[in-house]
Structure 1
Protein backbone atom coordinates (compact mmCIF):
# COMPACT_ATOMS: atom_id res chain seq x y z
CA UNK A 1 0.00 0.00 0.00
CA UNK A 2 1.23 3.46 -0.91
CA UNK A 3 0.49 6.07 1.77
CA UNK A 4 -1.61 9.08 0.84
CA UNK A 5 -0.51 10.89 4.00
CA UNK A 6 3.17 11.84 4.36
CA UNK A 7 4.88 9.43 6.74
CA UNK A 8 6.38 12.39 8.57
CA UNK A 9 2.88 13.72 9.31
CA UNK A 10 1.70 10.36 10.64
CA UNK A 11 4.83 10.05 12.78
CA UNK A 12 4.30 13.56 14.18
CA UNK A 13 0.72 12.55 15.06
CA UNK A 14 2.03 9.44 16.81
CA UNK A 15 4.59 11.46 18.77
CA UNK A 16 2.07 14.07 19.87
CA UNK A 17 -0.54 11.41 20.70
CA UNK A 18 2.03 9.72 22.95
CA UNK A 19 2.58 13.02 24.71
CA UNK A 20 -1.16 13.41 25.19
CA UNK A 21 -1.52 9.84 26.49
CA UNK A 22 1.31 10.40 28.97
CA UNK A 23 -0.39 13.36 30.61
CA UNK A 24 -1.88 12.57 33.98
CA UNK A 25 -4.25 15.13 35.45
CA UNK A 26 -3.08 16.41 38.82
CA UNK A 27 -5.39 15.38 41.64
CA UNK A 28 -7.02 17.89 43.89
CA UNK A 29 -6.00 16.98 47.48
CA UNK A 30 -9.45 18.05 48.69
CA UNK A 31 -11.15 15.71 46.22
CA UNK A 32 -10.65 12.51 48.24
CA UNK A 33 -9.87 13.60 51.80
CA UNK A 34 -10.89 10.18 53.17
CA UNK A 35 -7.92 8.51 51.50
CA UNK A 36 -5.27 8.77 54.22
CA UNK A 37 -2.58 7.30 51.98
CA UNK A 38 -2.48 10.54 50.00
CA UNK A 39 -1.43 12.65 52.98
CA UNK A 40 1.64 12.76 55.22
CA UNK A 41 1.51 13.00 59.04
CA UNK A 42 0.89 16.76 58.95
CA UNK A 43 -2.05 16.37 56.57
CA UNK A 44 -0.13 17.73 53.58
CA UNK A 45 -0.37 16.09 50.23
CA UNK A 46 2.41 13.71 49.33
CA UNK A 47 1.10 12.87 45.87
CA UNK A 48 3.72 11.92 43.37
CA UNK A 49 3.65 15.31 41.72
CA UNK A 50 6.82 14.46 39.83
CA UNK A 51 4.80 11.98 37.79
CA UNK A 52 1.93 14.35 37.27
CA UNK A 53 1.77 16.65 34.29
CA UNK A 54 -0.92 19.25 34.10
CA UNK A 55 -3.04 18.53 31.07
CA UNK A 56 -1.65 20.51 28.20
CA UNK A 57 -4.56 21.43 25.98
CA UNK A 58 -2.04 22.67 23.41
CA UNK A 59 -1.04 19.09 22.57
CA UNK A 60 -4.66 18.08 22.01
CA UNK A 61 -5.28 21.21 19.95
CA UNK A 62 -2.20 20.51 17.82
CA UNK A 63 -3.32 16.93 17.13
CA UNK A 64 -6.82 18.11 16.25
CA UNK A 65 -5.42 20.86 13.99
CA UNK A 66 -3.11 18.41 12.23
CA UNK A 67 -6.02 16.05 11.61
CA UNK A 68 -8.17 18.95 10.46
CA UNK A 69 -5.47 20.03 7.97
CA UNK A 70 -5.40 16.61 6.32
CA UNK A 71 -7.24 16.10 3.07
CA UNK A 72 -10.37 13.97 3.33
CA UNK A 73 -8.63 10.91 1.84
CA UNK A 74 -5.67 11.36 4.19
CA UNK A 75 -7.96 11.64 7.20
CA UNK A 76 -9.83 8.52 6.16
CA UNK A 77 -6.52 6.73 5.62
CA UNK A 78 -5.41 7.74 9.13
CA UNK A 79 -8.66 6.42 10.61
CA UNK A 80 -8.37 3.17 8.65
CA UNK A 81 -4.73 2.77 9.78
CA UNK A 82 -5.84 3.19 13.39
CA UNK A 83 -8.51 0.53 12.86
CA UNK A 84 -5.94 -1.86 11.41
CA UNK A 85 -3.61 -1.12 14.31
CA UNK A 86 -6.42 -1.73 16.78
CA UNK A 87 -7.26 -5.04 15.12
CA UNK A 88 -10.69 -4.02 13.88
CA UNK A 89 -9.46 -4.87 10.39
CA UNK A 90 -6.64 -7.07 9.14
CA UNK A 91 -4.12 -5.90 6.55
CA UNK A 92 -5.89 -8.06 3.97
CA UNK A 93 -9.09 -6.08 4.68
CA UNK A 94 -7.53 -2.68 3.93
CA UNK A 95 -9.96 -1.90 1.13
CA UNK A 96 -12.89 -2.60 3.47
CA UNK A 97 -11.37 -0.46 6.24
CA UNK A 98 -10.77 2.43 3.87
CA UNK A 99 -14.26 2.08 2.40
CA UNK A 100 -15.82 2.21 5.87
CA UNK A 101 -13.67 5.21 6.78
CA UNK A 102 -14.94 6.80 3.57
CA UNK A 103 -18.47 6.63 5.02
CA UNK A 104 -17.43 8.66 8.08
CA UNK A 105 -17.73 12.43 7.76
CA UNK A 106 -14.46 14.30 8.47
CA UNK A 107 -15.52 15.83 11.80
CA UNK A 108 -16.70 12.45 13.10
CA UNK A 109 -13.43 10.85 11.93
CA UNK A 110 -11.43 13.44 13.87
CA UNK A 111 -13.60 12.91 16.95
CA UNK A 112 -13.22 9.14 16.71
CA UNK A 113 -9.43 9.42 16.43
CA UNK A 114 -9.26 11.89 19.33
CA UNK A 115 -11.39 9.55 21.47
CA UNK A 116 -9.06 6.56 20.95
CA UNK A 117 -7.21 6.16 24.26
CA UNK A 118 -4.27 4.40 22.57
CA UNK A 119 -4.19 6.35 19.32
CA UNK A 120 -0.38 6.46 19.13
CA UNK A 121 -0.06 2.71 19.51
CA UNK A 122 -2.85 2.02 17.03
CA UNK A 123 -1.33 4.28 14.37
CA UNK A 124 2.13 2.84 14.99
CA UNK A 125 0.80 -0.72 14.71
CA UNK A 126 -1.22 0.19 11.63
CA UNK A 127 1.88 1.55 9.92
CA UNK A 128 3.93 -1.47 10.98
CA UNK A 129 1.31 -3.78 9.48
CA UNK A 130 2.18 -2.24 6.11
CA UNK A 131 5.95 -2.25 6.79
CA UNK A 132 6.18 1.47 7.54
CA UNK A 133 8.08 2.77 10.54
CA UNK A 134 8.76 6.09 12.19
CA UNK A 135 12.32 5.05 13.03
CA UNK A 136 14.57 7.85 11.88
CA UNK A 137 11.73 10.02 10.59
CA UNK A 138 12.26 13.65 11.51
CA UNK A 139 15.75 13.08 12.88
CA UNK A 140 18.81 14.93 11.67
CA UNK A 141 21.59 12.61 10.57
Structure 2
Protein backbone atom coordinates (compact mmCIF):
# COMPACT_ATOMS: atom_id res chain seq x y z
CA UNK A 1 0.00 0.00 0.00
CA UNK A 2 1.34 3.45 -0.88
CA UNK A 3 2.13 5.74 1.96
CA UNK A 4 0.58 9.15 2.26
CA UNK A 5 2.23 12.24 3.69
CA UNK A 6 -0.02 11.90 6.76
CA UNK A 7 1.56 8.60 7.82
CA UNK A 8 3.47 8.69 11.10
CA UNK A 9 6.62 7.22 9.56
CA UNK A 10 8.88 9.14 7.21
CA UNK A 11 8.48 8.70 3.49
CA UNK A 12 11.43 6.92 1.87
CA UNK A 13 12.04 8.77 -1.37
CA UNK A 14 14.95 6.53 -2.30
CA UNK A 15 17.30 9.52 -2.44
CA UNK A 16 18.66 11.88 0.20
CA UNK A 17 17.24 15.37 0.44
CA UNK A 18 20.83 16.65 0.32
CA UNK A 19 21.30 15.07 -3.12
CA UNK A 20 17.99 16.48 -4.36
CA UNK A 21 18.94 19.92 -2.99
CA UNK A 22 22.29 19.75 -4.80
CA UNK A 23 20.61 18.91 -8.09
CA UNK A 24 17.96 21.63 -7.59
CA UNK A 25 20.59 24.29 -6.81
CA UNK A 26 22.67 23.44 -9.86
CA UNK A 27 19.73 23.13 -12.24
CA UNK A 28 18.43 26.51 -11.10
CA UNK A 29 21.89 28.06 -11.46
CA UNK A 30 22.21 26.68 -14.99
CA UNK A 31 18.78 27.98 -15.96
CA UNK A 32 19.54 31.46 -14.63
CA UNK A 33 22.89 31.51 -16.44
CA UNK A 34 21.25 30.42 -19.69
CA UNK A 35 18.57 33.10 -19.38
CA UNK A 36 21.07 35.93 -18.93
CA UNK A 37 21.34 38.10 -22.02
CA UNK A 38 25.02 38.78 -22.80
CA UNK A 39 23.98 42.12 -24.31
CA UNK A 40 22.98 43.24 -20.81
CA UNK A 41 26.56 43.00 -19.65
CA UNK A 42 28.06 46.31 -18.72
CA UNK A 43 31.61 47.22 -17.88
CA UNK A 44 30.67 46.78 -14.22
CA UNK A 45 31.75 43.29 -13.15
CA UNK A 46 29.33 43.54 -10.21
CA UNK A 47 26.22 44.12 -12.31
CA UNK A 48 23.49 41.51 -12.00
CA UNK A 49 23.99 40.34 -15.58
CA UNK A 50 27.74 39.98 -15.06
CA UNK A 51 27.28 38.01 -11.87
CA UNK A 52 24.92 35.59 -13.61
CA UNK A 53 27.35 34.78 -16.41
CA UNK A 54 29.07 31.42 -16.36
CA UNK A 55 31.96 31.16 -13.99
CA UNK A 56 34.64 28.49 -14.56
CA UNK A 57 33.98 27.26 -11.00
CA UNK A 58 30.25 26.77 -11.68
CA UNK A 59 28.94 23.30 -12.44
CA UNK A 60 28.37 23.05 -16.16
CA UNK A 61 25.44 21.27 -17.77
CA UNK A 62 27.76 18.41 -18.76
CA UNK A 63 29.12 18.00 -15.23
CA UNK A 64 25.61 18.11 -13.76
CA UNK A 65 24.49 15.47 -16.27
CA UNK A 66 27.48 13.33 -15.22
CA UNK A 67 26.61 13.86 -11.54
CA UNK A 68 23.02 12.72 -12.09
CA UNK A 69 24.03 9.81 -14.31
CA UNK A 70 26.58 8.80 -11.64
CA UNK A 71 23.82 8.28 -9.07
CA UNK A 72 22.57 4.74 -8.59
CA UNK A 73 19.51 3.57 -10.51
CA UNK A 74 17.17 4.02 -7.53
CA UNK A 75 18.31 7.62 -6.98
CA UNK A 76 17.93 8.45 -10.67
CA UNK A 77 14.42 6.97 -10.71
CA UNK A 78 13.55 8.94 -7.57
CA UNK A 79 14.61 12.21 -9.25
CA UNK A 80 12.46 11.43 -12.28
CA UNK A 81 9.48 10.46 -10.12
CA UNK A 82 9.88 13.61 -7.99
CA UNK A 83 9.75 15.77 -11.13
CA UNK A 84 6.56 14.00 -12.16
CA UNK A 85 5.02 14.55 -8.72
CA UNK A 86 6.13 18.21 -8.82
CA UNK A 87 4.54 18.59 -12.25
CA UNK A 88 1.29 17.09 -10.98
CA UNK A 89 1.39 13.91 -13.05
CA UNK A 90 1.26 11.86 -9.83
CA UNK A 91 0.33 12.57 -6.24
CA UNK A 92 2.30 11.47 -3.18
CA UNK A 93 -0.17 8.62 -2.72
CA UNK A 94 0.89 7.31 -6.15
CA UNK A 95 4.61 7.37 -5.31
CA UNK A 96 5.21 3.65 -5.78
CA UNK A 97 3.63 3.71 -9.25
CA UNK A 98 5.57 6.85 -10.25
CA UNK A 99 8.79 5.25 -9.03
CA UNK A 100 8.09 2.02 -10.93
CA UNK A 101 7.40 3.92 -14.16
CA UNK A 102 10.48 6.10 -13.61
CA UNK A 103 12.62 2.96 -13.41
CA UNK A 104 11.14 1.83 -16.74
CA UNK A 105 11.60 5.28 -18.29
CA UNK A 106 15.24 5.34 -17.18
CA UNK A 107 16.11 1.93 -18.64
CA UNK A 108 18.45 3.72 -21.06
CA UNK A 109 20.28 5.35 -18.13
CA UNK A 110 19.90 8.90 -19.43
CA UNK A 111 18.28 10.47 -16.36
CA UNK A 112 20.60 13.47 -16.58
CA UNK A 113 19.66 14.26 -20.17
CA UNK A 114 15.99 13.70 -19.47
CA UNK A 115 15.90 15.98 -16.42
CA UNK A 116 18.07 18.71 -17.91
CA UNK A 117 15.85 18.75 -20.99
CA UNK A 118 12.87 19.82 -18.87
CA UNK A 119 11.93 23.43 -18.33
CA UNK A 120 11.95 24.38 -14.65
CA UNK A 121 13.31 20.96 -13.55
CA UNK A 122 14.76 22.47 -10.37
CA UNK A 123 11.44 23.95 -9.34
CA UNK A 124 9.60 20.74 -10.22
CA UNK A 125 11.98 18.71 -8.04
CA UNK A 126 11.45 21.13 -5.14
CA UNK A 127 7.67 20.96 -5.60
CA UNK A 128 7.81 17.18 -5.74
CA UNK A 129 9.62 17.07 -2.40
CA UNK A 130 7.16 19.61 -0.97
CA UNK A 131 4.24 17.37 -1.97
CA UNK A 132 5.49 14.94 0.69
CA UNK A 133 5.52 17.66 3.35
CA UNK A 134 9.32 17.98 3.13
CA UNK A 135 11.45 20.94 2.19
CA UNK A 136 14.85 21.17 0.57
CA UNK A 137 15.09 24.83 1.52
CA UNK A 138 16.11 23.86 5.06
CA UNK A 139 18.87 21.50 3.92
CA UNK A 140 22.38 22.74 4.68
CA UNK A 141 24.53 23.06 1.60
- Give me the TM-score of the superposition, normalised by structure 2: 0.74
Runs of 4+ in 1 over 3 A off after TM superposition: 52-58
Deviations 1:82-135 (A, max 9, x none): 110011112222122111111122533322111011011000000001122123
The 5 A counterparts of 1:15-94 are: 15-23=25-33, 24=35, 26-27=37-38, 47-49=39-41, 50=47, 51=49, 53-55=52-54, 58-94=59-95
Match of 1:5 in 2: 15
**Bigger Cα Rg:** 1
Match of 2:124 in 1: 122
Match of 1:138 in 2: 140
Query: For the residues of structure 1 that align with 2:72 and 2:108, how far apart are their CA atoms?
Result: 9
Gaps of 5+ in 1: 28-46
Query: For the residues of structure 1 that align with 2:59 and 2:137, how far apart are their CA atoms?
Result: 25
**Quick one: structure 1 residues 108 and 7, their matched pair in 2 at CA, closer, same or farther if it must change by over 3 Å?**
same
Q: CA deviation at 1:20?
A: 0.7
Task: State how many pairs are aligned.
Answer: 120
RMSD, aligned α-carbons: 2.1
Query: For the residues of structure 2 that align with 1:131 and 1:109, how far apart are their CA atoms?
Result: 25
- Give me the TM-score of the superposition, normalised by structure 1: 0.74
Q: CA deviation at 1:25?
A: 5.2
- Is 1:85–1:124's contact at 8 Å kept on the other side of the alignment? yes
Query: For the residues of structure 2 that align with 1:79 and 1:64, how far apart are their CA atoms?
Result: 13
Deviations 1:39-71 (A, max 9, x none): xxxxxxxx4224264456843123212211211
**Quick one: structure 1 residues 132 and 62, their matched pair in 2 at CA, closer, same or farther if it must change by over 3 Å?**
farther
Greater relative contact order, per chain length (Cα 8 Å cut-off, separation 6+): 2
Query: For the residues of structure 2 that align with 1:101 and 1:107, how far apart are their CA atoms?
Result: 11
